[in-house]
Amino acid sequence: MRVPLELAVRAASATLIDGDTAPATLRVSTDTRAIERGDTFVALRGERFDGHDFVAEAAQRGAALLVVDRPEARLPGLPTLLVADTRLAYMALAGAARSLFANRVLAITGSAGKTTTKAFLATLLAAKHGDRVLSAPGNENNEIGVSKLLLRASNDAHDVLVVEMGARHYGDIAALVAIARPHFGILTNVGEAHLEIMGSHERLEETKWALFSQGARPILNADDPVSRRRAASLEQRVHWFAARENASVDPSLLGELTSLTMLAGDRLFHCAGERREEHRVEVRVPGLHNRANLAAAIAGAIELGVPIADVLPELGRLQLPEGRYDRIPLGGIRLIYDAYNANASSMMAALDAFAAETAARRIAVLASMAELGDESKTLHERVGAHAAARVDTLLVRGEYASDLARGAQSAGLGLEQIVLVESNAQAARWLREHVRPQDVVLLKGSRKYKLEEIVQELRT
């Protein structure tokens, strides 16, 4: 989206310097490698770089306007917007771009399942809108990623924006909602992610619930206790979603919730008031938690006007994004890699899916979780206990490996079935020496433990 100069100056509370030759509209970039002639370069700061060090390169590549917060970084004669903070200015420019976007915006947040739900929803929306659906690649879900997406939006090219919103700090979602102003909001769940940084469950809840602070129509998980408890505070009608193992309608849900989309076994149920539909479906997505993410995506597609008849043919073709329950063939080892990230809810959900695998033995390699604060030991023990009934052998590593082991042992897993490993290399050696062809192996844990190294070791 090109932002008119006057609107940009006002939105970013900027001072325009050498503005006589400034472009009338701004096409914004933060990467000198991608700058095109006439672009506006915003000098962002990161952990390992400062965009102000690259303003000369931006000018050489054709930047027609700079956005800086260090006066000494500007180049004489080159039009410049001087702002108090370039990160906040970038978000403000994104908010200005959003104000010009005339079509639908849906935002997704939650403690787990955001990226998976986004990928599913973008595919389902394409059944109606084709390539006129815009969503961020990967998990670009912080203030920079969301701003980048909003600035890419175009009324001519896009009918729908699907915005993923992540939160590591208290209040992050409110800040993203303020610039994206979604018409619809999917909250996948409220778990324990980043609890240490958030400070408390209450602050975590408030941060996620801010998704609806600008009036977005809510799409909520019927099995999420926080959503069930807080739904009454919303003015908008709630569209609920759920997933069940068995192909039957849950009478308690249907009696209580007036709008519900539910995947149950090989059936899709959709209820809106007195109208009820039931369809036989083929879904190949593993794990009840991922089927819940799919149900959320179906609900989002319905809210955005995609007919159920257009959704049904797509369901059997959907696949999980990379890093989520990936089945990786490694010669004689059947390996499932699900270590994109982890919190207690996602660890237990992955173990539930793993328990349904047909195998001689189920062997799980669980690494510790991060940023859980005072509840770290308790949550690791809970995950260990959950694993005990679902695996035959448990390998544990990381800062809270002993807590995982303690929980598993307390729930009945024998000491001889629990293996403490100090490194990914050691875990790979153990697997190479002990795994038999009919076994299946799960890798799950926080990104900080880089469990993909086990895959790499086993490939060599």
Cα separation of 379 and 375, whole Å?
Answer: 6
The model's confidence at residue 46, banded by pLDDT at 50, 70 and 90, is confident
pTM over 0.95: no
Is the predicted pLDDT of residue 194 greater than 80, yes or no?
no
Note whether 118 and 138 are within 8 A (CB).
no
Task: Write the CATH number of the domain with boundaries 326-459.
Answer: 3.90.190.20
Average pLDDT over residues 17-21: 95
396-429 pLDDT, tens digit per residue, is 999 999 999 999 999 999 999 999 999 999 999 9
Cα separation of 122 and 129, whole Å?
Answer: 10
Within 33-192, residue ranges assigned H as helices are 55-60, 86-100, 114-129, 143-152, 172-180
The model's confidence at residue 66, banded by pLDDT at 50, 70 and 90, is very high
SS3 227: helix
166-183 pLDDT, tens digit per residue, is 988 899 999 999 999 999
Q: Report angle CA 145, 151, 153 to the nearest 5 degrees.
A: 105
CATH T-level assignment (fold) for domain 3-85 = 3.40.1390
Average pLDDT over residues 137-152: 94
Average pLDDT over residues 5-23: 97
Residue 251's pLDDT is 64
Residue 168's pLDDT is 84
Q: What percent of the chain has pLDDT over 70?
A: 97
Residue 84's pLDDT is 98
Per residue, what are the HEC states of 21-59? HCCCEECEECCHHHCCCCCEEECCECCCCEHHHHHHHHH
Average pLDDT over residues 297-301: 98
Residue 197's pLDDT is 66
Cβ neighbourhood burial of 75 (10 Å; 0-12, 13-18, 19+): middle
Identify the residue whose tokens are 């008119």: 4
Cα separation of 454 and 331, whole Å?
Answer: 14
Is the predicted pLDDT of residue 256 greater than 80, yes or no?
no
Note whether 306 and 341 are within 8 A (CB).
no
Go through the chain and tell me how many residues it has: 460
Q: What are the sequence ranges of the domains in the chain?
A: 3-85, 101-315, 326-459
Is the predicted pLDDT of residue 212 greater than 70, yes or no?
yes
* DSSP type of residue 368: P
Q: Determine whether domain 101-315 maps to CATH 3.40.1190.10.
A: yes
Residue 81's pLDDT is 98
Average pLDDT over residues 86-114: 97
Residue 255's pLDDT is 63
Note whether 208 and 173 are within 8 A (CB).
yes
Is the predicted pLDDT of residue 196 greater than 70, yes or no?
no
Average pLDDT over residues 316-324: 90
Nearest to 98 by CA among 165, 7, 179: 179
Same fold, 101-315 and 326-459: no
The model's confidence at residue 199, banded by pLDDT at 50, 70 and 90, is low
Residues 6+ apart with CB under 8 A from 374: 196
Cα separation of 315 and 139, whole Å?
Answer: 22
Is the predicted pLDDT of residue 361 greater than 90, yes or no?
yes
Is the predicted pLDDT of residue 137 greater than 90, yes or no?
no
The model's confidence at residue 156, banded by pLDDT at 50, 70 and 90, is very high
